[in-house]
Chain A
Amino acid sequence: MSSDPDFISSAGPKTEELVFDAKEAQRRRRASRMQRVGDHLKREWQLYAMLIPTILWLVIFLYKPMYGLQIAFKDYSIFRGVAASPWIGFEHFETLFNNDQFLRALRNTLIMSAYGLLFGFPVPIFLALMFNEILNQKFKKTAQTIVYLPHFISSVIIAGIVITAFSPSAGIVNTILGWFGVDAVYFLTKPEWFRPIFIGTGIWQEAGFQSIVYLAAIAGVSPTLYESAVVDGASRWQMMWKITIPSILPTIIIMLIIRIGNILEISFEMIILLYQPATYQTADVVNTFIYRQGLQGGQYDFAAAAGLFNAVVAFILVMTANTISKRYSRTSLW
């Protein structure tokens, strides 16, 4: 784009003219570009007026905190503020990786995500396949209406239901166990019960709603496939295995890739509501650790370091998953 006058001046005779021409041309180009930008803004300023509030919002509320992330490398003091606090390099990260609680939280995050994936991922697929086999439309509609519902209920309410249902005296779970002569268990104080309860709650809340994606994929399968299968005398079971499942396999694989990419994203709000010191050893995850250390304990810089580590690893995972799924399906999901 921009020509280099020095280069031209060493090129040969008539240098001065050439220099003049080049400079003049550049000036004119710039002027005409300014003119064009000016005209464009004059004509389209309304578009920019519409865009600016959103961009400003993103800068103030999401990008400025990214600038604030530098406290992970600083000895942050509230009085000095972000910019004036002194740099200390990777000290917080060294402390972090020698901190048993953090390592435990990291391990718990991965373990719970892995269990969530193992037990939670297949359920919506089964549900969608089963919904698809229901012939009575009214029954199907009613069942769907009910299983989608928990998705819209707040985690506080879900936690309230879980705590009530599992309570040692009044809870229905212990009542039922009592029928079989089992003594009451205070489930939510038992570390070994935290993960099953948390993961089970997640499946109960989200599996129905997550089945929508697979139902949409099933709806896209060509009816002629089923018609010719019927002509060939295939049973419904065979059609499900030979037609429906292979047809939705791409969707399943993309959803799996995305789930793996989001492995650090665990619903810590629910954990904050359900865990207690007695269950930290199995329940504490990275974000709950950050919440306790930073927001409750005031160790902002240290907690920000944990958060930065989490965010960077999550970013890499998500981008990798996105790239793989893009390559796999040629349509990126996000």
Chain B
Amino acid sequence: MTNMNLYSRGDRMFVILNMILIGLFTISTLYPFIYIASLSMSTGFEARAGNVVLTPVGFTLEAYKQVLAEPLFWKSYMNTFIYTIFGTLASLAFIIPGAYALSKPQLYGRRFWNLVVAFTMWFNAGLIPFFLNMRDLGLLDSYFGIIIGFAVNGFNIILLRNFFEGIPQSFEEAARMDGANEFQVLWKVYIPLSKPAIATVALFCIVSRWNGFFWAMVLLQDEDKIPLQVYLRQVIVELSDDEEFSTSLLTAAYSVETVTAAIIVCSIIPILLIYPFLQKYFSKGILLGGVKE
């Protein structure tokens, strides 16, 4: 469609109208982020008066000073990094070998094992039994519980298994001739050939870890262990519930709104940094995963 000439006046109208609509949708997607960024750099007074529309009003970084001076912010930021890095490594450590074994035709009961994996995508016991199980395992309030308890998911296994299945046998034959065992074949042949698929799965894990809040909120009572998203939620709950507290700050250089906005900005930045990779691999990921069971 790209090289096509614009033929008629109707076509030109259509193309222009189309660009305007896409432009509007794009702006409306972007605007809330600009609004939050501007809010975070405005004074609390202007923010509360509702004077911030597009650009910062009464430019100040006071909200950021407040956020960065809060030890719990740093602690929770650290925790999020810990959960994201170790959680993703744990996921890969389970998923890559599991998916590899499931991709091998000589595996006994292969259909059954695949069903064991796929069934967890269609049916899950729900919030309560999962929570009670975590409690019975002694994994409440524990770093280990958050890292290991969410390591595996059926979708990622199947995505990677499909990719492994697509790698021609001939690639591993040379390695087998040299007497390589399964671990070596996986490590030296399959993993190097599957970098895009593994990157996709790793990015799925990173994003869900970075953004995950519900189970962290439920399973972690100890404030020293909560991730950034749970900390952010506490601040937001203060914002929406505690109108009086907010108004008492009316004259201050910062307000609950500007502080919230500043935390939001701080927590989006790492996602923005890896966004070029995300965009590259995620679209492939959905299409890869959507092939078959």
Contact = CB atoms under 8 A, between A and B. Distances in A.
A31 B106 CA distance: 21
Given A155-B213, A235-B10, A331-B291, A307 B98 contact: no
State the main secondary structure of chain A at its contact with B: helix
Interface stretch (B22-30, B60-68, B166-174): B22-30
Contacts of A81: 136
A46 B233 contact: no
13 contacts: A48-B101, A68-B125, A135-B15, A152-B207, A154-B229, A160-B264, A163-B240, A167-B239, A170-B49, A290-B127, A300-B132, A304-B126, A311-B124
A300 B128 contact: yes
Contacts of A127: 22, 25
A8 interface: no
B218 interface: yes
B147 interface: no
Interface of B: 1-2, 4, 6-8, 10-11, 14-15, 18-19, 21-23, 25-26, 28-30, 32-33, 35-36, 39, 47-53, 93-95, 97-98, 100-102, 104, 106-108, 113, 116-118, 120-133, 136-137, 149, 151-152, 157, 181-183, 186, 207, 210-214, 218, 229-230, 232-233, 236, 239-241, 246, 255, 257, 260-261, 263-264, 267-268, 271, 275, 278-279, 282-283, 286-287, 290-293
A291 B215 CA distance: 11
Interface of A: 37, 40, 44, 46-48, 50-51, 53-55, 57-58, 60-66, 68-69, 71, 81-82, 127, 130-137, 139, 142-143, 145-150, 152-157, 159-161, 163-165, 167, 169-172, 174-175, 178, 188, 204, 208-209, 212-213, 216, 226, 230, 233, 235-237, 269, 272-273, 276, 287, 290-291, 294-295, 300, 303-304, 307-308, 310-311, 314-315, 318-319, 322, 331-334
Contacts of B30: 146
Nearest to B246: A169
A201 B26 CA distance: 15
The interface centre, meaning the residue of B50, B183, B239 with most chain A CB atoms within 10 A of its CB, is B50
Given A152-B207, A236-B11, 8 more contacts: A40-B106, A47-B182, A68-B129, A149-B29, A154-B212, A235-B8, A269-B213, A311-B124
A152 B278 contact: yes
Contacts of B124: 62, 65-66, 311
Contacts of B97: 50-51, 53-54
B19 A134 contact: yes
A161 B28 CA distance: 13
Contact of A273 (B2, B47, B122, B233): B233
Contacts of A58: 116-117, 120, 152
Contacts of B8: 235
Contacts of A315: 122-123
Nearest to A150: B29
Contacts, number: 292
Contacts of B214: 269, 272
A290 B50 contact: no
A154 B210 contact: yes
A62 B153 CA distance: 10
Contacts of B287: 212-213, 216
B275 A307 contact: no
B199 to A, nearest CB: 15
B232 A167 contact: no
A331 B213 contact: no
B86 to A, nearest CB: 15
A65 B122 contact: no
A48 B48 CA distance: 61
Contacts of B212: 154
Contacts of A136: 19
Given A152-B275, A236-B14, A307 B52 contact: no
Given A60-B137, A153-B268, A134 B255 contact: no
A157 B267 contact: yes
Contacts of B261: 164
B4 A133 contact: no
The interface centre, meaning the residue of B106, B182, B183 with most chain A CB atoms within 10 A of its CB, is B182
Contacts of A311: 123-126
B244 to A, nearest CB: 12
Contacts of A139: 19, 22
A215 to B, nearest CB: 8
Contacts of B50: 169-172, 174-175, 178
Contacts of A64: 133
A213 B286 contact: yes
B292 A69 contact: no
A315 B108 CA distance: 28
B182 A53 contact: no
Contact of A51 (B4, B107, B129, B229): B107
Contacts of A62: 120, 124-125
Contact of B36 (A161, A308, A319): A161
B260 A145 contact: no
Contact of A307 (B11, B49, B102, B128): B128
Contacts of B241: 276
Nearest to A208: B29
B293 A334 contact: yes
A321 to B, nearest CB: 10
B14 to A, nearest CB: 5
Contact of B133 (A65, A154, A188, A331): A65
Contact of A47 (B15, B93, B101, B126): B101
A288 B121 CA distance: 21
Contact of B292 (A46, A132, A273, A331): A331
Contact of A291 (B10, B11, B127): B127
